[in-house]
Amino acid sequence: MSLYARARRHAWRMMGVLAAGVVLVALVDRLAGHSTLAFAAAIVMLLIANAPMLGFNCPTCGKNAFFRGVLVVPWPNRRCTRCGSDLDAPAPQNR
In whole angstroms, what separates CA 66 from the centre of its chain? 8
With H, G, I as helix, E, B as strand and everything else as coil, classify residue 71: strand
Task: Give the model's pLDDT for residue 24.
Answer: 94
pLDDT tens digits for range 52-66: 999 999 999 999 999
Whole-model pTM? 0.85
Q: Report, in angstroms and rounded to the nearest whole number, the Rg of the chain calculated over CA atoms.
A: 17
Q: What's the CA gap between 40 and 92, in Å, rounded?
A: 41
Q: In angstroms, rounded to a whole number, what is the distance separating the alpha carbons of residues 51 and 74?
A: 13
CA 15 to the chain's CA centroid: 8
The pLDDT tens digits for 1-35 are 899 999 999 999 999 999 999 999 999 999 998 88
